[in-house]
Amino acid sequence: MKPLSLLLSTAMLSALSPAHANDWLTCATITDNAERLTCFDQKARQFANPVELQSPPPVPYATPPTTVPEPPVASAAQRASAQPSEITRFWDLEHATARDNFELHAYRPVSLSLVGGHPVNTLPDSPAVGRTPTSALPYQPGELRINLSVRTKVLSGFLRRDDDPLRDSLWFGYTQQSYWQLFNGDISRPFRSTDHEPELMYVFPHFISLPGGWTYRMSAAGVVHQSNGQSLPLSRSWNRAFVMGAADKIANNGDRFTLQTRVWRRMDEKPGQDDNPDISEFVGRGEVVGRWSFDSGVGTDKTLHTLGLTLRHSLRASGRGSARLEYLRSIGRPDTGLRFHAQLFSGYGDSLIDYNRKRTVFAAGLSLVDW
């Protein structure tokens, strides 16, 4: 029976990947039962932890070694694979856990919120000719805001492929924000504004250690179009090219921190076709987004909290821009994605029609994220 068992073991192990078949066959040639079992145990542990560097295959020995050598230090790419971050998971930077192309995923929160704040802009204006209505619109300050945002990975593996554990990728995203005058029955409850924002983004992964326990995870570049789909005089639109970088940190207590910066340049438009020539001076030319996520409770009582801050600036002496502070709290099981969502915005660009009108707006409602 022993030769038959050895033959079967050899046949099964030889069907493994060519990179490791000789290691297993070396174990199979050891005649001492205890030494052969020790050899197989070592190889099994290495296959269970693919990030651990493979040590040279053992050779037959008369007596077990008295000391075990220190394992080799893993490379940066292996450490990235061993400890995936929120940014890594969100953008499929790791090949082993990446999802299929053309699957739909959430991008920004999908939310439904009650909104109140400074009076709504009833007479939107623009320095462009023919972009200012002649009479005020009877809008109310209380509204319902609907946010829809999805993305999908189109292609991956342009520059990082094959045995590289990290992957670059091309993504398409679409975000829509609508303000609905739900409580304004006098004018048949219209949608006051709906902004459409498709974008195309190339993402390149990194694993660069930064001071303070931070890790630089990715760089990206892309183009984005934003418009409100209305006819004159309420038409507003612009196109931008941008570059982006993101880093994160996992604290000793499990808290997660992310930091993302993006700067953009507006693409020129033909004279007479520009709905809002001064939009960069108000909405800005760059932004910084910081997030802090932490858990409270344990087991079925576990709750996920996220606190975020987005700052936009014109990068000019005028100092215009905006600040957005938001808080999300899981409802029920954190893995369902349902969140309570509260947001405070102050500045320019809360909606495209109001790009040059400063507003302070508070919104509270429900969001779906991470689906």
Task: State yes or no: pLDDT of 84 exceeds 70.
Answer: no
In the chain, the number of structural domains is: 2
CATH number at residue 262: 2.40.230.10
Residues 32, 117, single domain; the answer is no
Give yes or no: residues 31 and 164 share one domain: no
pLDDT tens digit sequence for 312-343:
999 999 889 999 999 999 998 877 889 999 99
* Torsion 85-88-90-96 (CA) sign: negative
Are the C-beta atoms of 210 and 216 separated by less than 8 Å? yes
* pLDDT 10s digits, 85-134: 899 999 999 998 899 999 999 999 899 999 998 888 889 999 999 999 98
4 vs 150, residue with greater confidence? 150
pLDDT grade, residue 271 (50/70/90)? confident
Of 23, 50, 73, the last residue of a domain is 73
Domain final residue pick, 24, 40, 73: 73
Same structural domain, 233 and 344: yes
What is each CA distance from 345 to 118, 172, 311, in whole angstroms? 11, 27, 10
Average per-residue pLDDT in the chain?
84
pLDDT category of residue 301 using cuts at 50, 70 and 90: confident
Strands annotated E in 212-337: 215-227, 237-250, 256-266, 286-296, 303-313, 321-330
178-231: pLDDT as tens digits: 999 999 999 999 999 999 999 999 999 999 999 999 999 999 999 999 999 999
Same domain flag for 123 and 69: no
**What was the pLDDT predicted at 364?**
98
Q: Which domain holds residue 49?
A: 2-73
Mean pLDDT of 69-84: 44
